[in-house]
């Protein structure tokens, strides 16, 4: 590490004002602070600082996402070989999924971070870490077969128009990863929904060649029930891609078709434990999303007319992006309500809306994305009323002006 | 029995280097330096020239808009230098101290026999009015404004803070005289706050005041927090604030008839070999207590005050006017720590859960431990801000300088020190105290 430190000190003058590479200063700074804790000391105010910084916070979120990412990768392979009717080892399935997902992660990071580095340089600021999380979220919430160029276009659009134009990390109104998904969803609907996109049937770098078995259908469980003719939930069975019935445990551990990140509720829960125990994610937001969802499901169940309206609450939580959205999207501190009371309201309404959209609009079987984006827009309003309570109390207490 | 208020929010930063409760001696400084910038909110006008002979209590300068507000020399001697900075701003007044202290005769008597106006005039004339501060704006109190109430904090919860009980040992009579004097200055009440660990009888059983006991972590000892829980400041109201050791200095004026600006000061910090308490006049040079008594071979940060709100000084710096504590910690600019964001090191301390919790005391240095960012994490400030105020929203309104919003969100109730813990825990490494200080100064300019 000492040699590296010396090398960094040696090349530093090139990146400072007047240096040959001064237009790469933010980039140099980003790498230097990635490698070494900056040793700039406080100039005003407190003389000591907490060891937690933005990098640490984002690192925790990324670590929390890893279980879901790994389970998702394994599931990509699992679904692939099942579709082809081939028996392979657990490791082969994982490697297949890993290779299928890796290019998406690379594309999302290269495009997003590229834009971040350029903008930071133009603003003469340090590179903010926000995209490190966004960049891994994006591949996790899109179908595995989304073409790479689409991910590139959507990421660029979201980073520029949902974040940088507002001022960068910390100033955005909408969750950047969800804007990426929304952009894809409305621009290329055929690649984002239906029963063709959730299971990768093609080979990856020559791995896993073959043709699909008869009776294959790649519809997600939520997609199935949304278009089902069944009159009640009792007449309906969720089916895997080869027509086998799906159990609750398949849904919990994530052996069902769906986006990479959302399938394994088990892995998402592991992430939630980390986020809550470190205080990085708000347990109030997470809990209230589930509460809101549960209330909505109970209400819908009471007046059920068809299978999806009758679907019990545990299926709602296990299927689709509900859990993933609650744990990783609703808790984004920048776009969420910022007051503690506000978080209860914000989360509750997300849960309520997500189930409502899911049940009443078969065109959007994934209500979570829209619900969170919608509540992103309303979060400042929620905070406004929470804070207004404090302001009113202060005004009431004050004696009339003399 | 005193009212008891529990403070839940806050943080006691576990730092190494609490001062041992032993008096190590008296610091006799050859030169004494008085820095007018310590007295926030005043414009100094000189009352002495170089080579003037002064006694302890002789006015060195006065406040431009209140010529009766004098600032006393803490020692007797000769004015040797008056250093000026940009726009002829007075940086420091240097006095060569006599070996034998001469005191200016202050002609004051027993407090009980004086009227409010007489008490006020005595304190102003003695040159120690600056010990009284006011909210709003956290500046030296304006003597011509009637305070609604006066708040005195009788304990200090700041990291490594000296024990107020220890500072006030044998000064209980002065403390009570000071409290009696304050009671004459307001038509409202004098509120004295004590900590749950306060044992000193002079504090616990003080007369002529309303005593409230606070129980909880820092910043429970901050007078701003106490006001917010006892009787918040509203728009248009003024309250005065002091701390107990300063009240004792006021009391000493009435008991002894002299201006005696000698304090008991704690020498603290992880880099001090032998901690302890010293007697010294404000403005005293500190090099004698640092010499051979601090860690060698590393870059150090010397602070007059505590690590949260103190002022950075040099190794040959002086005790600043309001401080009862001097702290030495590592500077940290000679440390290159690799991959800090992934660190599991037990040397790192965080109030949040992103590091493993270690039950021990820490040796923290002055590094920011990160780069400045926009405010990202929510509910971080609230956890260490036990007032009925939304700190993050107030900070944002100050940055935007939206006067209406600042007023609505409670700007009149706060001082920069109330945001010190928020600044410590801030993931975004923003200079919150500086933001609040600037906001208060600008607001004062707008309103007065």
Q: Where do the structural domains in chain A lie, given as residue ranges?
A: 2-35, 54-192, 221-389
Q: A282 is written with which tokens?
A: 């708000």
A 25-64: CB under 8 A from B: 29, 33-57, 59-60
Q: Three-state DSSP class for B229?
A: helix
Look at B388 and A393 and tell me if their CB atoms are within 8 Å: yes
Where b means 16+ CB within 10 Å and e means fewer, A342-380 reads bbbbbbbbbbbbbbbbbbeeeebbbbbbbbbbbbbebbe
Measured CA to CA, the distance from residue A371 to residue A355 in angstroms comes to: 9
Query: Binning pLDDT at 50, 70 and 90, where does residue B110 land?
Result: confident
User: Per DSSP, what are the bridge partners of residue B313?
Assistant: B302
Please state the separation of Cα A397 from the chain's center in Å.
44
Q: Which value, in Å, is the radius of gyration of the alpha carbons in chain A?
A: 23
Look at B341 and A168 and tell me if their CB atoms are within 8 Å: no
Q: Between B236, B375, B409, which is nearest A391 by CB?
A: B409
Q: ∠ CA B173-B176-B182 to the nearest 5 degrees?
A: 140
State whether residue A282 sits within 8 Å of chain B by CB: yes
CB atoms within 10 A of CB A237: 12
| DSSP codes joined into one string, B346-397 | TT---SSSSS----S-B---SB-SS------SSSTTGGG--SSS-HHHHHHH
State whether residue B312 sits within 8 Å of chain A by CB: yes
User: Per DSSP, what are the bridge partners of residue B191?
Assistant: B151, B210
Q: Are residues B301 and A41 in contact, defined by beta-carbon separation less than 8 angstroms? A: yes
Q: What's the mean pLDDT when you consider all of chain B?
A: 93
State whether residue A336 sits within 8 Å of chain B by CB: yes
Q: Over the stretch B258-308, which tens digit does the pLDDT of each residue have?
A: 999 999 999 999 999 999 999 999 999 999 999 999 999 999 999 999 999
Q: Between B334, B337, B341, which is nearest A56 by CB?
A: B341
Query: Binning pLDDT at 50, 70 and 90, where does residue B2 land?
Result: low
- Nearest Cα to B66, choosing from B17, B4, B120? B120
Could you give the ipTM of this predicted complex?
0.92
- Nearest Cα to A60, choosing from B337, B344, B421? B344
Look at A40 and B368 and tell me if their CB atoms are within 8 Å: yes
Q: Over the stretch B400-428, which tens digit does the pLDDT of each residue have?
A: 999 999 999 999 999 999 999 999 999 99
Instruction: From residue A187, give the alpha-carbon distance in Å to each of A139, A165, A261, B106, B243.
Output: 17, 21, 22, 84, 65
| DSSP codes joined into one string, A68-87 | HHHHHHHHHHHHHHHHHT--
Chain A residues touching B307 at Cβ < 8 A: 46-48
Q: Three-state DSSP class for A348?
A: helix
CB atoms within 10 A of CB A312: 11
B402–chain A nearest CA distance, Å: 15
What pLDDT is stored for residue A18 in this prediction?
80
Q: Three-state DSSP class for A56?
A: helix
DSSP B103: B
The dihedral sign for the CA sequence A191, A193, A194, A199? positive
B315 preceded by a cis bond (ω within 30 of 0): no
B424–chain A nearest CA distance, Å: 5
Locate tokens 């999302």: which residue? A108
Q: Over the stretch A275-308, which tens digit does the pLDDT of each residue have?
A: 999 999 999 999 999 999 999 999 999 988 888 8
The strands making up B44-46's β-sheet, listed across from edge to edge, are B44-46, B59-63, B66-72
Measured CA to CA, the distance from residue A30 to residue A128 in angstroms comes to: 9
Q: B10 is written with which tokens?
A: 């806050």
Q: Who wins on pLDDT, B126 or A196?
A: B126
DSSP A197: S
Q: Between A42, A57, A391, which is nearest B368 by CB?
A: A42
- Nearest Cα to B315, choosing from B272, B344, B346? B272
- Nearest Cα to B324, choosing from B246, B261, B264, B251? B264
Residue B334 burial class via C-beta count within 10 angstroms: exposed 0-12, middle 13-18, buried 19 and up? exposed
Q: Over the stretch B305-341, which tens digit does the pLDDT of each residue have?
A: 999 999 999 999 999 999 999 999 999 988 888 888 8
Q: Which value, in Å, is the radius of gyration of the alpha carbons in chain B?
A: 21
State whether residue A391 sits within 8 Å of chain B by CB: yes
- Predicted confidence (pLDDT) at residue B257 exceeds the cutoff of 50: yes
pLDDT averaged per 10 residues, chain A (length 402): 84 83 84 86 91 92 96 94 91 94 96 93 88 94 92 96 92 94 90 82 84 85 84 86 89 92 94 95 96 95 88 91 94 94 96 92 79 96 94 81 46
Locate tokens 């090139």: which residue? A14
Overall average pLDDT of the B158-185 stretch: 94
Q: Three-state DSSP class for A363?
A: coil
Contacts of B74 (CB under 8 A, 6+ apart): B32, B34, B56, B259, B261, B262, B281, B282, B283
CB atoms within 10 A of CB B147: 22
Locate tokens 């929510």: which residue? B378
| DSSP codes joined into one string, B407-418 | HHHTGGG--GGG
State whether residue B432 sits within 8 Å of chain A by CB: yes
Measured CA to CA, the distance from residue B355 to residue B351 in angstroms comes to: 9
Q: Are residues B391 and A317 in contact, defined by beta-carbon separation less than 8 angstroms? A: no
């Amino acid at each position: 590490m000492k040699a590296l430190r010396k090398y960094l000190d040696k090349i530093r003058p090139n990146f400072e004002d007047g240096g040959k590479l001064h237009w790469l200063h933010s980039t140099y700074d980003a790498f230097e602070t990635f490698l070494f804790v900056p040793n700039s000391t406080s100039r005003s105010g407190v003389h000591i600082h907490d060891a937690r910084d933005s990098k640490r916070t984002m690192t925790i979120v990324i670590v929390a996402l890893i279980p879901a990412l790994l389970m998702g990768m394994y599931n990509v392979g699992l679904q692939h070989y099942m579709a082809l009717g081939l028996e392979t080892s657990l490791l082969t399935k994982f490697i297949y999924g890993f290779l299928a997902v890796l290019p998406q992660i690379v594309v999302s990071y290269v495009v997003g971070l590229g834009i971040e580095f350029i903008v930071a340089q133009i603003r003469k600021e340090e590179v903010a870490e926000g995209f490190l999380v966004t960049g891994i979220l994006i591949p996790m919430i899109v179908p595995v077969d989304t073409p790479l160029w689409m991910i590139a276009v959507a990421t660029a659009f979201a980073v520029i128009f949902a974040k940088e134009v507002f001022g960068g990390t910390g100033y955005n109104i909408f969750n950047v990863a969800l804007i990426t998904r929304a952009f894809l969803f409305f621009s290329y609907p055929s690649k984002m929904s239906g029963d063709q996109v959730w299971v990768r049937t093609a080979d990856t770098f020559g791995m896993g060649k073959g043709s699909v078995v008869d009776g294959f259908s790649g519809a997600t469980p939520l997609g199935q029930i949304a278009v089902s003719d069944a009159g009640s939930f009792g007449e309906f069975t969720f089916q895997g891609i080869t027509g086998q019935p799906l159990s609750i445990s398949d849904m919990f551990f994530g052996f069902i078709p769906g986006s990479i990140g959302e399938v394994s509720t088990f892995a998402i829960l592991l992430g939630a434990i980390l986020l809550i125990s470190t205080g990085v994610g708000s347990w109030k937001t997470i809990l209230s999303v589930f509460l809101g969802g549960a209330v909505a499901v109970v209400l819908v169940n009471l007046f059920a007319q068809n299978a999806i309206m009758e679907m019990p609450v545990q299926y709602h939580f296990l299927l689709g992006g509900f859990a993933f959205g609650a744990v990783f999207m609703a808790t984004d501190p920048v776009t969420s309500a910022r007051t503690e009371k506000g978080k209860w309201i914000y989360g509750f309404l997300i849960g309520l809306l997500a189930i409502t959209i899911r049940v009443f609009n078969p065109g959007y079987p994934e209500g979570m994305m829209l619900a969170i984006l919608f509540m992103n827009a309303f979060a400042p309003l929620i905070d406004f009323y929470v804070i207004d309570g404090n302001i009113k109390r202060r005004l009431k207490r004050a004696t009339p002006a003399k | 029995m005193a009212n008891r208020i529990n403070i839940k929010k806050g943080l006691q930063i576990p730092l190494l280097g609490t001062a041992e409760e032993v008096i190590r001696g008296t610091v006799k400084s050859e030169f004494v330096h008085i820095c007018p910038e310590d007295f926030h909110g005043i414009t100094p006008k000189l009352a002495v020239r170089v080579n003037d002979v002064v006694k302890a209590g002789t006015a060195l300068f006065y406040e431009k808009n209140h010529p009766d507000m004098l600032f006393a020399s803490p020692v007797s001697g000769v004015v040797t230098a008056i250093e000026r900075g940009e726009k002829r701003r007075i940086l420091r007044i240097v006095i060569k101290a006599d070996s034998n202290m001469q005191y200016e005769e202050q002609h004051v008597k027993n407090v009980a026999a004086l009227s409010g106006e007489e008490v006020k005039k005595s304190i102003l004339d003695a040159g120690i009015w600056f010990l009284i501060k006011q909210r709003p704006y956290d500046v030296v109190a304006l003597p011509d404004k009637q305070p609604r109430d006066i708040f005195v904090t009788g304990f200090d919860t700041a990291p490594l803070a000296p024990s107020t009980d220890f500072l006030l040992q044998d000064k209980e009579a002065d403390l009570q005289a000071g409290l009696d004097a304050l009671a004459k200055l307001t038509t409202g009440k004098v509120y004295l706050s004590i900590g749950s660990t306060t044992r000193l009888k002079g504090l616990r059983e003080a007369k002529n005041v309303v005593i409230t006991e606070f129980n909880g972590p820092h910043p429970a000892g901050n007078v701003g927090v106490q006001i917010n829980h006892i009787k918040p400041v509203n728009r248009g109201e003024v309250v005065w604030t002091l701390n107990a050791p300063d009240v004792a200095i006021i009391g000493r004026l009435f008991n002894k008839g002299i201006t005696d600006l000698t304090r008991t000061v704690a020498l603290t910090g992880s880099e001090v070999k032998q901690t302890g308490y010293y007697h010294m006049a404000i403005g005293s040079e500190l090099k004698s207590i640092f010499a051979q008594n601090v860690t060698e071979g590393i870059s150090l940060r010397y602070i007059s005050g505590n690590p949260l709100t103190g002022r950075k000084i040099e190794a040959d710096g002086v005790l600043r006017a309001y401080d009862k504590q001097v702290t030495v910690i590592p500077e940290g600019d000679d440390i290159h720590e690799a991959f800090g964001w992934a660190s599991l090191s037990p040397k790192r301390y965080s109030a949040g859960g992103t590091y493993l919790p270690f039950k021990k005391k820490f040796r923290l240095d002055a590094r920011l431990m990160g780069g400045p960012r926009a405010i990202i994490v929510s509910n971080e400030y609230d956890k260490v801000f036990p007032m009925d105020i939304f700190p993050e929203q107030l900070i944002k309104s100050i940055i935007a300088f939206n006067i209406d919003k600042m007023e609505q969100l409670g700007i009149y109730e706060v001082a920069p020190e109330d945001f010190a813990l928020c600044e410590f825990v801030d993931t975004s490494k923003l200079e919150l105290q500086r933001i609040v200080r600037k906001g208060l100064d600008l607001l004062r300019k707008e309103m007065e």
